[in-house]
């Protein structure tokens, strides 16, 4: 059996292998605990680790024990009531007693918990494991070409570091078997003939001596076949293949009008913060465009998007118009996967809702992979929702959900970005 020795430096994290094995083994329990822990913390605090409690009964594993086996006889001193063959009656209900000391408790049931602390990376990995950007496809860029090294069989020449030991030894073994086959076959026949001659009487000394000399010669010729030769060596061959580059851009659009009070803005910020963490976690080459709007839309940076106090009226079409202009100028469809997420309270200038519908149908929906709209309101829907329903009926990759409180953010987020079957 082969033995692998890991000589990588791991001085400050010696238990990393056991830690990953533990996470894989109890992944179901840990994910359940992560979901429960998430419900009790702020979305803006997601970028940290978490201490989770796992019931001890969920950590039980089958154990093999070595019993004494066979029939045994035991003598217990002080037995005055029973003889061999007697049946012991069950104790009366409620009459059993343990070996514990002190008074019993009336605080109900309980169980021992195992406390396991997840790091920031482990928490986010489990938190976003089942999520993805829907309809993400790979697009080949003309200016950016990435190459991936892939295996391409074996070659007879190469660098010493690329020697494939197994394939080389297999080739050497096959060569030795092929070259030594005539000698070994004749050697086996000569040994059988020698044994037959020695069993006969009288023994033919001349023939026996000749066979002995021939056997020694054949053994020497078989041993003379080299164990390994230079043309037995095989090297792992790798070639570079061009890989299409996955590039995605996410438009985050949020209403900051006067109807969006502080609580609703906070819910919108939490949703986009969760979305931002998800994007940065799963995609290396992704850009995020932040657009704030009231009566006028403006492209801002992350800091201003989340923390600016600017407010005003509501004209949603200004943000959609700006998003369409940015898409046409900076993000061609042939090179980018376009995604848009919008958060609003549903309030809009009544005459502007048809314009929003038209912009979506003509300038945005034919070019985006996915459009998610969340409406932060406990009230009934207004004209903007009705206009968006027409868009949803025409484009299945347009999704709408309603959020009433902080407890709805995570379920809606997972519903919008859940991993769909291919």
pLDDT bucket at 142, cuts 50 / 70 / 90: very low
3-class secondary structure, 250: strand
Judge whether residue 136 has pLDDT over 50.
yes
Of the listed ranges 223-237, 248-262, 366-380, 402-416, the one predicted with least confidence: 402-416
Judge whether residue 117 has pLDDT over 80.
no
> Is 297 within 8 Å of 318 (Cβ atoms)?
yes
Of the listed ranges 1-5, 183-187, 272-276, 378-382, the one predicted with least confidence: 1-5
Q: pTM for the full model?
A: 0.53
Looking at residue 358, its pLDDT comes to 92
CA-CA distance, 289 to 300, in Å (whole number)?
A: 8
Question: Do the bridges between strand 297-300 and strand 286-293 make them parallel or antiparallel, or are there none, so unpaired?
Answer: antiparallel
Looking at residue 44, its pLDDT comes to 42
Looking at residue 381, its pLDDT comes to 80
Q: Which residues pair with 151 in a beta bridge?
A: 238
End-to-end CA, the chain: 41
Backbone phi, psi, residue 323, to 5°: -60, -40
In tens, the pLDDT along 25-62 reads 767 767 676 666 655 554 445 555 556 666 655 555 56
pLDDT bucket at 230, cuts 50 / 70 / 90: confident
Looking at residue 52, its pLDDT comes to 62
Looking at residue 98, its pLDDT comes to 54
Give the right CATH number for 248-416 from 1.50.10.10, 2.60.120.260, 3.40.50.410, 3.40.1180.10: 3.40.50.410
pLDDT bucket at 97, cuts 50 / 70 / 90: low
pLDDT bucket at 108, cuts 50 / 70 / 90: very low
Full DSSP string of 187-242: HHHHHHHHHHHHHSSS--HHHHHHHHHHHHHHHHHHHTS-S--GGG--EEEEEEEE
Question: Do the bridges between strand 297-300 and strand 398-403 make them parallel or antiparallel, or are there none, so unpaired?
Answer: unpaired
Percent pLDDT > 70 in the chain is 67
Looking at residue 1, its pLDDT comes to 46
Of the listed ranges 6-10, 176-180, 282-286, 302-306, the one predicted with least confidence: 6-10
Looking at residue 357, its pLDDT comes to 92
| b/e map 336-346, b = 16+ CB within 10 Å | bbbbbbbbbbb
Looking at residue 11, its pLDDT comes to 46
């Amino acid at each position: 059996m082969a033995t692998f020795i890991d000589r990588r430096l791991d001085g400050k994290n010696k238990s990393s292998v056991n830690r990953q094995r533990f996470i894989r083994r109890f992944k179901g329990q840990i994910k359940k605990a992560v979901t429960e822990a998430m419900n009790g913390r702020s979305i803006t605090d997601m970028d940290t680790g978490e201490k989770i409690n796992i019931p001890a009964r969920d950590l039980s594993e089958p154990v093999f024990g070595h019993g004494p086996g066979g029939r045994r006889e035991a003598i217990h001193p002080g037995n005055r009531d029973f003889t061999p063959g007697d049946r012991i009656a069950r104790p009366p209900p409620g009459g059993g007693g343990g070996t514990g000391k002190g008074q019993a408790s009336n605080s109900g049931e309980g169980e021992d918990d195992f406390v396991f602390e997840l790091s920031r990376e482990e928490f986010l990995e489990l938190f976003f494991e089942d999520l993805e950007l829907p309809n993400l496809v790979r697009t080949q860029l003309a200016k950016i070409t990435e190459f991936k090294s892939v295996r391409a069989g074996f070659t007879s020449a190469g660098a010493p570091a690329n020697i494939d030991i197994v394939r080389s030894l297999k080739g050497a073994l096959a060569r030795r078997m092929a070259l030594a086959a005539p000698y070994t076959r004749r050697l086996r026949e000569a040994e059988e003939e020698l044994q037959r001659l020695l069993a006969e009487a009288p023994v033919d000394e001349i023939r026996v001596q000749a066979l002995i000399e021939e056997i020694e010669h054949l053994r020497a010729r078989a041993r003379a076949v080299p164990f390994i030769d230079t043309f037995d060596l095989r090297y792992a061959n790798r070639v570079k293949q061009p890989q299409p580059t996955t590039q995605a851009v996410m438009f985050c659009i949020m209403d900051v009008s006067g109807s969006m009070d502080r609580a609703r803005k906070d819910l919108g910020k939490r949703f986009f913060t969760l979305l931002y963490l998800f994007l940065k976690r799963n995609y290396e080459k992704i850009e995020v465009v932040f657009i704030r709007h009231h009566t006028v839309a403006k492209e801002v940076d992350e800091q201003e998007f989340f923390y600016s106090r600017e407010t005003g009226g509501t004209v949603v079409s200004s943000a959609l118009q700006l998003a369409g202009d940015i898409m046409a100028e900076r993000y061609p469809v042939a090179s980018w996967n376009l995604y848009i997420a919008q958060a609003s309270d549903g309030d809009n200038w009544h005459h502007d809702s048809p314009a929003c519908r038209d912009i979506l149908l003509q300038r945005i929906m034919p070019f985006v992979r996915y459009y998610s709209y969340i409406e932060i309101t406990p009230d009934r829907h207004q004209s903007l929702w009705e206009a968006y329903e027409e868009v949803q009926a025409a484009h299945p990759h347009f999704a709408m959900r309603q959020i009433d409180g902080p407890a709805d953010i995570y379920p809606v987020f997972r519903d919008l970005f859940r991993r769909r079957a291919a």
